[in-house]
Amino acid sequence: MNPELFRIGPLPIHAYGTLIVTGFLFGLGIIRLRLKSYGIPFDKVVDLSFGVLISGFVGAKLFHWLIIPSDFINDMSLLFSSPVDFLKQLGNGFEFFGGIVIGVVYFYYFCRKHSLDKRRVLDLITPAVPLAHAFGRLGCFMAGCCYGKHAPDLPWAIIFTDPKSLGPTHVPLHPTQLYEAVLLIILTVSILLAEKRITQIPGRMISIYILGYTVIRFIVEYFRADDRGFIPYINLSGTQVISMFVAAGAIIWLIKTHRSPGGK
């Protein structure tokens, strides 16, 4: 696992960023292949996708700071003492659920501005999200972040050896990044195979995806060792608590789509 793939002169090309871009392009490909059945202009989808990507990064960073305030304090201190170093490490530490929340806000703004059917657009772009996210988790694996717990007797444990790795080196760990990547690909394939049935009720696919992902994330959290913020007395990480609230929101949206005109 190499956080840095290669260099172009003094410029390092990082595996994490490269795989995120790759996942984004594959996500656009999935959208492009299904575009005709939705009748939505591709240029609008591209503009929306870039906007959601950028806003998602912002949201993921803000939620990370919310869950781990000490990182926010350290980052702000670094911003005023050494802005260059602040920019270098800005790519470390994200909370995916924060990306979803802020991404959804931008999505609603964009669809309203361009008079697009929100539910149809949601059904179109939803499968691209877990697919792109799976590539992002592969990027985490290469970078060493989001690492798992110590697993000395696990046959498939992984060991980071690169000194630039963000995770512990030279110790066997649960490959939590790969757990999540595989489950996200399974989730992507599942909702694509069931797409025609799911989209009989417009807007339902996003809630099914979110419910699936919250279950995946809740389980994988038990195997992670990096600091996710810990809630005392209930023995759950901050991300697990957020998962429950996000799942509740998805259930509410699922009920709403069923009760709306055209719901069954």
Q: What is the pTM of this model?
A: 0.80
Long-range Cβ contacts of 67-73 (<8 Å, 24+ apart): 67/95, 67/228, 67/229, 67/238, 67/239, 67/242, 68/93, 68/227, 68/228, 68/229, 68/238
Q: What is the pLDDT of residues 154-213, one digit of tens each?
A: 999 999 998 888 888 999 999 999 999 999 999 999 999 999 888 888 888 989 999 999
pLDDT of residue 156: 92
More confident: 87 or 98 = 98
- Contact predicate 45/31, CB 8 Å: yes
> How is the chain split into domains, by residue range?
4-259
More confident: 258 or 260 = 258
- Average pLDDT value for residue range 75-95: 72
pLDDT of residue 155: 93
Q: What is the pLDDT of residues 206-243, one digit of tens each?
A: 899 999 999 999 999 989 988 766 677 777 887 888 88
Averaged pLDDT score across all residues of the chain: 85
pLDDT above 60: residue 263? no
- Average pLDDT value for residue range 48-59: 85
What backbone phi and psi angles, to 5 degrees, belong to 14?
-90, 145
**Using CA atoms, how far apart are residues 133 and 161, in angstroms rounded to an integer?**
25
Token pair recorded at residue 258: 């069923």
Q: What is the percentage of the chain residues whose pLDDT exceeds 90?
A: 28
